[in-house]
């Protein structure tokens, strides 16, 4: 077994995963916040206005990273769900469900900011076009996964049901991606082709977008690890390693008081 | 409408979009953080009660 495989196996153990999350959470949060601030200031104040859309294109710096994250997180949930269903790894079950609220938040941001971009650009807040409708379905799928998990009392059964729904819902991702090519939509085709490393955006406008995309991923890492830690503490509350963490946390709170 | 007027009329939309972004991100941040802190406090209280029950 090589070192990477061994590391993944170790990470499957709840106490190891909890310690790993504890080590990485502050780095992910602060670096994500710093990069988001840099990208927002750069995008709002130091990039030129678009020759066709004027200033309104500046919404791109939050709309596009949020839309990417909405889809990326759902794929991640489905992969974690698949691992959880096939290998019955508790940490994978937990990661699949821990990712959902932030994924839903990003999808809601993509829809709301897209709507606010649409008004000055297209003259309407909403159109039942293929890209917008399939993204709205993605938001409902997130709500479905979260709702299903909360509706079933047994945590492990709930996680497996939610994992199955996220795998089924995965079919919506290529529909969102290719909707602008398959149907005659109001939404423009992708300006950036990630797989082909090609972009039609000028580099002076592109960098803040890429930095914001990285910032949203770092923030997502923090949020998913924080929620995964909460779910692990809840599900393993009778175990010794949780008791040790709770005692240490209470002592720390006592010191601070 | 001149080009500059056209561009300036977009700022309310840009402000609203960034406002939505910040509001939803802060909601997500505080929800995630509060969930973990609340559970740690609950588990600590449960542990204290168990210790008190066990004491002679």
Give the pLDDT mean for A48-63: 89
Chain A residues whose CB is inside 8 A of the B14 CB are: 44, 55-56, 58-59, 116
Q: Do A230 and B3 touch (CB under 8 A)?
A: no
Q: Using the Cα atoms of residue A150, residue A152, residue A153 and residue A157 in order, give the sign of their dihedral.
A: negative
Whether ipTM tops 0.95, in short, is: no
Q: What angle do CA A234, A238, A244 make, to 5 degrees?
A: 90
| A122 closest CA partner among A200, A53, A49 | A53
Among B residues 35-54, those touching chain A with beta carbons less than 8 Å apart: 35-36, 39-41, 43-44, 46-48
Q: Which residue among A56, A226, A245 sits closest to B10, beta carbon to beta carbon?
A: A56
Q: Cβ contact (<8 Å) for B9 and A120?
A: yes
Under a CB-based contact definition with an 8 Å cutoff, are residues B22 and A68 in contact?
Answer: no
The predicted model scores a pTM of 0.92
Answer yes or no: do A223 and B39 touch at CB < 8 A: no
pLDDT at A253 over 80: no
> Helix (H, G, I), strand (E, B), or coil: what is residue A125?
coil
User: What would the pLDDT profile of A167-198 be if each residue is shown by its tens digit?
Assistant: 999 999 999 999 988 888 888 777 776 666 67
| All structural domains of chain A with their residue ranges | 27-39+59-188+197-235
């Amino acid at each position: 077994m090589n070192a990477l495989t061994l590391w993944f196996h170790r990470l499957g153990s709840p106490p190891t995963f909890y310690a790993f999350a504890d080590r990485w959470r502050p780095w992910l949060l602060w670096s994500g916040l710093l990069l988001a601030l840099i990208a927002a200031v750069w995008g709002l104040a130091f990039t030129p206005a678009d020759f066709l859309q004027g200033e309104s294109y500046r919404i791109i710096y939050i709309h596009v990273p949020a839309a990417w994250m909405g889809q990326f997180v759902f794929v991640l949930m489905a992969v974690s769900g698949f691992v959880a269903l096939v290998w019955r790894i508790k940490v994978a079950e937990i990661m699949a469900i821990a990712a959902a609220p932030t994924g839903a938040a990003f999808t809601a941001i993509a829809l709301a900011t897209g709507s606010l971009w649409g008004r000055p650009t297209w003259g309407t807040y909403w159109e039942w076009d293929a890209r917008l409708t399939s993204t709205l379905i993605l938001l409902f799928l997130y709500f479905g996964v979260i709702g299903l998990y909360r509706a079933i009392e047994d945590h492990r059964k709930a996680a497996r049901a939610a994992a199955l729904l996220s795998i089924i819902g995965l079919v919506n991702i290529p529909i969102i991606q290719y909707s602008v090519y398959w149907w005659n939509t109001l939404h423009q085709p992708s300006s950036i082709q990630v797989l082909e490393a090609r972009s039609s955006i000028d580099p002076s406008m592109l960098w803040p977008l890429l930095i914001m995309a990285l910032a949203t991923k770092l923030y997502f890492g923090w949020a998913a690890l924080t929620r995964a830690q909460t779910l692990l503490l809840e599900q393993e509350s009778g175990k010794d390693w949780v008791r040790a963490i709770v005692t240490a946390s209470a002592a720390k709170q006592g010191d601070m008081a | 409408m001149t080009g500059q007027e056209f561009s300036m009329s977009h700022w309310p939309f840009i402000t609203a979009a960034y406002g939505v972004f910040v509001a939803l991100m802060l909601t997500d941040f505080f929800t995630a953080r509060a969930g973990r802190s609340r559970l740690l406090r609950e588990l600590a209280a449960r542990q204290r009660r168990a210790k008190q029950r066990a004491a002679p």
